[in-house]
Chain A
Amino acid sequence: MIEIKDLWYTYPGRTEPTLKGINLKVKKGEFVLLTGPTGCGKSTLLKTLNGIIPHESGGIFSGSIRINGTETIDSNHMELSRGVGLVFQNPDDQIFSTTVEDEVAFGPENLCFEREEIDKKVEEALQMVGMSGHRLSSTNSLSGGQKQRICIANMLAMMPEILAMDEPVSQMDPGGTQEVLNTVRELNRKLKITVLLVEHRLHELAPFADRIVIMDGGKIIFDQPASKAFDYLEVFHRLGLRVPEPVELCHALGIRASPLSAREALLVLNRKNSKENMITPRILPNPEENIGADTSALAGPAGNNDSVNNDSVNNDSIISIRDLWSGYDKNLMVLKCINLEIHKEERIAVMGTNGSGKSTLLLNLAAMLKPYKGSVKVLGEDTRSKNPYSFAGRVGFVFQNPDLMLFCDSAEEEARFGPVQLKFENIEERARTSLEAMSILNLKQDLPQSLSRGQRLRTAVASVLSIDPEIILLDEPTTGQDRVNIEQMMDYFKNNRSTLVFCTHDIEIAMLYATRILVMNEGRIIADGKGREVIKNIEILRKASLTQPPVVEIANYLGVDAFSVTELVEMLACRGSEVINSDVINSEVINSEGIKCEVIRC
């Protein structure tokens, strides 16, 4: 189906090739998960498949790409487009029609199908992605997950043989992610559509893939079936890629297995011979030493700092919200009756579905939106009578899209901008420290717009850090970031005891770094407490389209009160002899996914 041989590609104006001797074969009907650190060339590789590179991009191209035996370099880009459908990260950048029907019909219309045939193809494509009931809906009225399914339907209406997807779920809540991935998997199985999916969230997507391919520095450095890929855990750790928690757990317990879900892990643990496979758990690294790239150590992200997150919190309330109602239209309130106190040095994760009001809450905290009813006091001042500029230097806001925050000629200038405007002292020192904290000091002379997305986000964060605001607000700081980047950033906030409010869909990161988690649903806070308290409440999580991290699910079934891989391993280690000596109770339970499985109770 796809055969790539010794592919080299250099973008126009660059000297260093982005792709360096890629060799890859993908069979018809395979589901390949392509991952790797940011800027390693994954997206570039996808664009070569339908001829955008080199036909539209220019640049230096060498090597061979054959799609169904046809050399892309010799083919018309338009013909290639019909065979390879591309879906990108942000559906808002791809959808241009105002109704779903028009959007999906665009491709078949361009291919000159008859009206009846277009009508049929639109209906079929929408049915395939479970959106046939939305045919006449406005594209603006759809949720993020629904929009992304429309983007997939756009391609399916043209019946491509290959679906190439570039981080299609990175901005979605877990519920939307599952919807889209289940759809793609079903299409892959039923229609034998070959799927190439680029994504950082390896730990969530691995269960859907047949094969995992890792790129680094423009080369493919790893290519294994998904079932065996995690036997080589050191590769993932070395590149800072997140590994599914069940895999981490089994490896930490010395079990030679790579289960990709809680259910599989429980089955592995339940096997009689697991006792023979179990060896003494390895000593886990000290969480306080586990910073930055070195966090690739065995414990995994959720394993290191629950104790740190329980640090005593300063009781000074710096944000006080009373009966807040707010929105963009007085007839349609986004936030409804919010009451909230935020104390100094708290790190609060705001979670919930797309459209639940997370970003609106942040905008209120920055005084960029005013309450329709109720009050918001930030640093003792009522935001109703203030404009956001009166909080300049005291409240820092980093938007989800860092591109809107970068306008200087170098990363260093970005970091200097705030302190210069606010006439602070030690400007050089502030800029250097913030750039260093975000690990971009070596890029300080680079044009911010030319950096990778992860680097751009860290530049935007550095530009806020240099001001040293009393409150930092981050809107989805983990989107499209690899694990090393996320941890470097969040470790900085943790170590500096910053007051931080951040929106995220990543429950593992929230558990790891937040001192408190807020769960929002339809504009209301439906849970507010320490991660451990919130995560126990399955009903609340379900309402917010969240699920327990696999390790918590496993711990629940094992009857252990553990919230991270580290804790679970330690508890199992403590009870190791008990486990081995206890009778294995074969009991059937039904997990949260409704799947029956046998578990060990210790």
Chain B
Amino acid sequence: MIGARSIAEPTIKDTIVHRTDPRAKILILISTAFVAVTLDNPETMLLLFLTILSGFALARMPAIKLKTLAFLLILLIWGTIYSQALFYSQLPRTVIFTIIQPDFPVLGWLTNGGLFVYEEGLHHGAIQGLRSASILSLGLLICWTTDSRDMLNGLVGLRVPYSVAFMLVTAVRFLPIIITEVATVITVQRLRGFNPKRFGSGIIKTSLNILTPTLSNCVRRTGTLAVSIQSRAFRANPSRTYLKKLKFSELDKVMVTACIFAAISIVIIKLLYNMYTSGIYYTSGLRPVYAIARGYL
């Protein structure tokens, strides 16, 4: 139960990743998200993913967080690859393994002509999996290396309204506590002989049994927190001052500029390439650009 808290809370250290301005981190995350969505090339995608993973080494993340990351990534990548391999619907597609034959009694009919693993599905799943994994990894790296107050200031610095940023950061702050409480609720109920159901109709009762005490406790806590922050003049004035001033270092500027430039370039190149492949626009002067897009993006 305590593990849930140490996983979710940031680990504060003095590394280059930790020192990066939260605004820079948020901008890098947004740029990376654009790049990840735009890319189709599995090798480039893998390179992006590995680059992001190297951030965890730079940030000297503790083992418990690395284990959590590994678990989430395996679950995400394997789940995506497997589901895409089975349910890939585009053509052409190459069957590399048959799970259910089309003429298999009942199941063949139920699966609408059998169940197969497609080569193109695996390929597509790998790209999708790496895409999601890259964004997830970078998001976690930012959350695990940024103090919640710095994150709040970073969001405000990026023109997010203070109240919205405060609510967002506070919700994240209390998430691990809620996870701990859910675990407690389940254990308490099982000690009273209840067997939580994960499947079937019993899942509704199980969910209600868990949600009722967890939510009511959240409501109580929220009430206390609300009164507490109101007592500290929250939103008493249209603006506020800050004790800490965020410092956008030269290195931050370089990193953000590079990321934004790279993201814009990749998006534009892919856009031009897609216009060419769909017959909307072509010019011979852009042939090197098309080659880059085809070969690396």
Chain A residues within 8 Å of B, Cβ to Cβ: 47, 50, 52, 56, 77-79, 81-82, 84-86, 88, 90, 92-94, 96-99, 101-102, 105-115, 118-119, 122, 138, 140, 151, 154-155, 158, 328-329, 366, 368, 388-389, 391-393, 395-397, 399, 401, 403-407, 417-418, 421-422, 449, 463-464, 467
Contacts and interface: CB of A to CB of B under 8 A. Distances in A.
Contacts of B170: 96
A392 B12 CA distance: 41
A393 B194 CA distance: 10
B220 interface: yes
A94 B192 contact: no
B191 A389 contact: yes
Given A78-B236, A110-B234, A154-B232, A399 B184 contact: yes
Contact of B189 (A90, A94, A111, A407): A407
Contacts of B226: 56
B233 A107 contact: yes
Interface of B: 1-3, 5-6, 9-10, 12, 64, 147-149, 170, 173-174, 177, 181, 184-185, 187-195, 208-210, 212-214, 216-217, 220-221, 224-237, 239-245
A158 B230 CA distance: 12
B192 A158 contact: no
- In the A-B complex, the 4 residue pairs with the smallest Cβ-Cβ separation, listed nearest first, are A421-B193, A328-B2, A107-B232, A78-B236
A510 to B, nearest CB: 25
Contacts of B232: 81, 106-107, 110, 154-155, 158
Contacts of B193: 392-393, 418, 421-422, 467
B1 A328 contact: yes
Contacts of A96: 148, 170, 173-174, 225, 229
Contact of A119 (B221, B228, B243): B243
A395 B213 contact: no
Given A96-B170, A392-B192, A404 B185 contact: yes
Contacts of B185: 404-405, 407
Contacts of B245: 115
A403 B243 contact: no
B259 to A, nearest CB: 26
A389 B243 contact: no
B35 to A, nearest CB: 30
A360 to B, nearest CB: 10
Contacts of A396: 191
A404 B241 contact: no
Contacts of A395: 191
Nearest to A397: B191
A428 B234 CA distance: 50
B224 A110 contact: no
A392 B147 CA distance: 41
Given A98-B147, A112-B241, A404-B185, A421 B192 contact: yes
Contact of A115 (B221, B230, B233, B242): B242
Q: Is the interface of B mostly helix, strand, loop or mixed?
A: helix
Contacts of B243: 101-102, 105, 108-109, 115, 118-119, 122
A90 B1 CA distance: 19
A228 to B, nearest CB: 33
A391 B234 CA distance: 48
Contacts of A449: 212, 216
A78 B229 CA distance: 11
A109 B187 contact: no
Contacts of B12: 98, 138
B184 A404 contact: yes
Contact of B239 (A90, A112, A407): A112
Interface centre among A56, A78, A140, A366 (most CB of B within 10 A): A78
A94 B220 contact: no
B61 to A, nearest CB: 15
B187 A388 contact: yes
A580 to B, nearest CB: 55
B177 to A, nearest CB: 8
Contact of A389 (B148, B149, B190, B209): B190
Contacts of B1: 328
B188 A56 contact: no
Contacts of A399: 184, 188
Contacts of B236: 78-79, 81-82, 110-111
Contacts of A92: 177
Given A88-B224, A98-B148, A329 B213 contact: no
Contact of B235 (A50, A110, A155, A417): A110
Contacts of B190: 388-389, 392
Given A140-B5, A422-B192, 6 more contacts: A47-B227, A389-B191, A407-B209, A417-B194, A418-B193, A467-B193
A99 B240 contact: no
A404 B213 contact: yes
Contacts of B189: 407
B224 A93 contact: yes
Given A77-B230, A404-B217, A111 B237 contact: yes
Contacts of A84: 231
Contact of B240 (A110, A389, A407): A110
A113 B241 contact: yes
Nearest to A93: B224
Interface centre among B1, B191, B234, B235 (most CB of A within 10 A): B191
A404 B194 CA distance: 15
A355 to B, nearest CB: 12
A412 to B, nearest CB: 15
Given A110-B235, A115-B245, A464 B228 contact: no
B188 A404 contact: yes
A94 B224 contact: yes
A80 to B, nearest CB: 9
